[in-house]
Chains A and B, each alone.
Chain A
Amino acid sequence: MRLELREITKQFPGVLANDRISISADRGKVLGLLGENGAGKTTLMNILSGLYRPDSGEILIDGEPRLFSDPADAITAGIGMVHQHFMLVPVFDVVESVALGAEPVTGLVHTFDRATARKRVVELSAQYGLHVDPDAKIEDLPVGVRQRVEILKALYRKSDILVLDEPSAVLTPGETEELFAIIRGLAAGGTTVIFITHKLNEVLEVADTITVLRRGRVAGTVLPDETSREELANLMVGRDVELTVTRSPAKPAGVVLELVDLNVRDDRDSMAVRGVNLEVRAGEIVAVAGVQGNGQTELVEAITGLRQVDSGSLRIGGQVVEHASPRRVSDLGVAHIPEDRSRDGLIGSMTVEENYILDSYHRDPYSNGGRLDWKVIGEKAEVGVREFDIRTPSIETHVGALSGGNQQKVIVAREFSRPVQLVIAAQPTRGLDVGSIEYIHRRIIEQRDAGAAILIVSTELDEVLALGDRVAVMFAGQIVGVLSSDQATKEAVGMLMGGVH
């Protein structure tokens, strides 16, 4: 079906999220939607899917104006949405999750007709090459597969228009390729797809047309063949962006972080980190590359005191910290940018200023003998907001209302607001736009040049190569290779990540 959104406007308290946005997509085509964090992409899609009501503007499907009062309405009209943050029930299995809300029923008391539902799930899964086990429990599935369950859910409801909000942010390169194949298959079958991403390569690869949003407005609509990454980046942020931040060669000094034969167990008690040896020196960036789930998470948790070390030694600035608490590690001058920002790094229903002091509220100048000095806190938070260009209506806004990129900036601003000797950054730019990535990379390099030791953990190959003075590749809990920045090519690192060495 042909979809058109006309002059959509949506105002939130303090933010004009959508300002007369018009987009359109033809039947069987893929529309790529780009835009910096907070540009209004998710808001626009939430309007399309009936979750929010626009202040003005209209939605036309095959030329006919439609207004959805709730998501059920939009679903009936054939609009399926895979949200930025998945909305699946962990204890359900695939068939239940997919059929939930549209379950076929049988008998007098309308019991759930599992057999019929299961049959459809199997059919759809085969038709679009989704490869999903219909009886698996959601909680046991990797993210890539969960996402396909979300897609199945939309297909199950006979969606003619499918919206994918940043589907690739959490996928491995292999999973992303599979996703693209699915998208192409859907489009070929006549489904209209709207695909939101921050990754310029992806949108160039899969979209038929690209619309770029900036600060709630359409900044331009272009064709992939007639544009470049640079032009797209410029449209998004309104200025030229350095897609790979330049940096001077590292000048490594004394060892700050030292891991010797470190072993760490995961939650299921199996060894997740196996005999890792690694040093990070002051003034250098060591990037740990690897496919998600090869022990990086446990490694970071062990270093930051959040997880028990099984055996081996762990020193920070010469101090033994194998059994130190997170507070003690943080007091040594360790900044930690956690992997899952909304779960681990922020408290969504607290304000920007409260989150700004989350790990240093007990220190000078915020605490005054156990009393919080809100005046000073407010002043410092204002400084952080200004310095890091955090887009927020005020420092009293709940952090949960900010866009993903701005949430991440709050964390980085907080972590860099005090003197640090070691920075541990896990997926520091996941889900961020090119402008924010450039900005956060710059800040990290600045910290390095100021003499901090930096450990980056990233599944993003581009990021690892852009930042690492040395690249350590993790596979199955082990460091399978450490490459200097000139040895570290895409191919070399990619091979090691895949376990070939």
Chain B
Amino acid sequence: MRKRLRPLLVPALAVLSAFIVGSLFLLFTDIKHIGMLTTDPVGAFTGALGNIIDAYGALIVGAFGDPKRFSTALQSGDIHDWTIAFRPMSETLVAATPLMFTGLAIAVSFRSGVFNIGGDGQFVLGALGATVVALMFRGMPAPITLVAALAGGIVFGAVWGFIPGFLKARTGAHEVITTIMLNYVALQIVQLALRNDFLRQSTSSQPISKVLDFVRVPQLIPFLGLRLHWGFIVALLVAALVSWFLFKTTKGFELRSAGLNLTAARYAGMSAGGSIILAMVVSGALAGLGGAFQVMGSVTQMSNDVNSGYGWTAIALALLGGTRPGGVVAAALLFGALNNGGHGMQVASGVPLDLLVFIQALVIMFVAAPDLVRKIYRLRQPAIESGAPAAEGAPA
């Protein structure tokens, strides 16, 4: 058990450290209380401390809900009160869902020694693919349309992963360059597609698709009327599936081998090119599925806004989660909570949302520098690094 928990230690301490540094940041930008320092040092200090507690408190309430709301709901028993109480938690999970898909996508690529920076492009094209297929199937029974549209998202994402994979395997073109470029191409394709009358909502002057209300991903708890949908559950299942794929199948074994030592993998008769392509296709497909769920679950229309840098955040998540599927899920939940709770914090305590971006950046920084964390907390260096943690999982 201790051995199983070990890999969690550094990420957990990284998160803790990030919050501590974040609070220092709050402290030093607290002009009002700094000004009081000379006249009323005790008051200044307690005041500043109170501010920090308020801000982080609001963050937690924003992410997980307000205990007061829960007690209200308990007393009244009114469905509407329950909806209000659970909404923050639902929104946290809604925010985490696309991150889970893209995080898993990037983790698969890192494990395989491929640096997929194209999660963004694969995600938006997945969303576009789902939209196109949904509109094509319009009029068919909803479940069929939904499944077809999800498949469409997977295929579009997979194709967008295949291209850089193929280019790397065949010509050696570096995937970092090609995937970044393909991100721009993907955005342009979306722009173009949204001008097409087949997709475009004719009543709007904005580039925005028709409303996909006929293929909604079902809500998880329908009677509460929350946004949380089955995509979240599917993301959890996909994480388990990815884990099974990586550790229990021959193809997964090939990918991991190629990721850790490409020469030895080649000597063992594995096809380097095949592994690269497979890794990129799987990675793209996962990101694409995330896009499909986003457009049919969390929002209702395809637009440029469907993507908010999920592919980029995913890189951090894959590292934070040690490229382990379980770790990536945990990291995505954390970032979902921060993103969602941040809005609550901004409203309730006036601390700008940017603090959260700052904290997220610190988390990533601490995770990327495990030795620093070990030094701060005086942890012993592990005799031999186990698994493919952050530093090792990321290919050069």
A contact residues vs B (CB 8 Å cutoff): 12-13, 304, 306, 325-327, 329-331, 336, 338, 343-350, 354, 357-359, 361-362, 367, 370-372, 374, 398, 400-401
Contacts and interface: CB of A to CB of B under 8 A. Distances in A.
A325 B265 CA distance: 13
Interface in B211-260: 248-251, 253-254, 256-257, 260
A347 B264 contact: yes
A347 B260 contact: yes
Given A12-B383, A327-B269, A362 B264 contact: no
Interface string B354-375: 0000000000000000000000
Contact of B248 (A329, A331, A371): A371
Interface in B256-278: 256-257, 260-261, 263-271
A13 to B, nearest CB: 6
Contact of A327 (B260, B270, B386): B270
Nearest to A331: B269
A349 B385 contact: yes
Closest 8 CB pairs of A and B: A327-B269, A359-B268, A347-B261, A358-B268, A326-B269, A401-B384, A344-B267, A330-B269
Contacts of B384: 398, 400-401
A358 B267 CA distance: 9
B30 interface: no
B142 interface: no
Contact of B269 (A325, A343, A344, A374): A325
Given A326-B266, A359-B269, A401-B384, A348 B261 contact: yes
Contacts of B386: 349, 398
A372 B271 contact: no
A361 B253 CA distance: 8
B387 interface: yes
B378 to A, nearest CB: 14
Given A306-B266, A336-B267, A344-B263, A350 B257 contact: yes
Interface centre among A336, A347, A374 (most CB of B within 10 A): A347
Contacts of A372: 248-250, 253
Contacts of A371: 248-250
A266 B256 CA distance: 29
B263 A349 contact: no
Given A327-B269, A359-B269, A398-B386, A343 B264 contact: yes
B66 interface: no
B73 interface: no
A362 B249 CA distance: 9
Contacts of A362: 250
B276 to A, nearest CB: 16
B388 interface: yes
Nearest to A348: B261
A419 to B, nearest CB: 16
Interface centre among B248, B250, B392 (most CB of A within 10 A): B250
25 contacts: A13-B383, A304-B267, A325-B271, A326-B267, A326-B269, A327-B270, A330-B268, A330-B269, A343-B261, A343-B263, A345-B264, A345-B267, A347-B257, A347-B261, A349-B388, A358-B268, A359-B267, A359-B268, A359-B269, A367-B250, A370-B251, A371-B249, A372-B249, A372-B253, A398-B384
Contact of A401 (B249, B251, B383): B383
Interface string B270-289: 11000000000000000000
A185 to B, nearest CB: 38
B272 to A, nearest CB: 10
Interface centre among A348, A350, A370, A398 (most CB of B within 10 A): A350
Contacts of B267: 304, 306, 326, 336, 338, 344-345, 359
Contacts of B248: 371-372, 374
Nearest to A14: B383
Contacts of A13: 383
Given A329-B269, A372-B253, 13 more contacts: A306-B267, A325-B269, A330-B269, A338-B267, A345-B264, A348-B260, A350-B257, A354-B253, A358-B268, A361-B250, A372-B248, A374-B248, A401-B383
Contacts of A347: 257, 260-261, 264-265
A354 B269 CA distance: 15
A304 B254 CA distance: 19
A414 to B, nearest CB: 9
Contacts of B269: 325-327, 329-331, 359
Contacts of B385: 349
Nearest to B264: A347
Nearest to A355: B264
A123 B270 CA distance: 50
Contacts of B261: 343, 346-348
Contacts of B260: 347-350
A345 B263 CA distance: 8
Contacts of A370: 249-251
A330 B270 CA distance: 11
Given A325-B269, A326-B269, A346 B249 contact: no
B264 A358 contact: yes
Nearest to A397: B384
A372 B250 CA distance: 6
A372 B252 CA distance: 10
Contacts of B270: 327
A308 B370 CA distance: 42
Contacts of B383: 12-13, 401
A351 B84 CA distance: 50
A369 to B, nearest CB: 9
A398 B261 CA distance: 14
A446 B248 CA distance: 34
Contacts of A345: 264, 267
Contacts of A346: 261, 264
A52 to B, nearest CB: 10
Contacts of A361: 250, 253-254
A256 B392 CA distance: 42
Nearest to B258: A347
A343 B260 CA distance: 11
Contact of B392 (A327, A344, A349): A349
Nearest to B382: A13
A114 B40 CA distance: 58
A343 B253 CA distance: 18
Nearest to B259: A347
A325 B267 CA distance: 10
Interface centre among A344, A349, A357 (most CB of B within 10 A): A349
A374 to B, nearest CB: 7
A331 B269 CA distance: 9
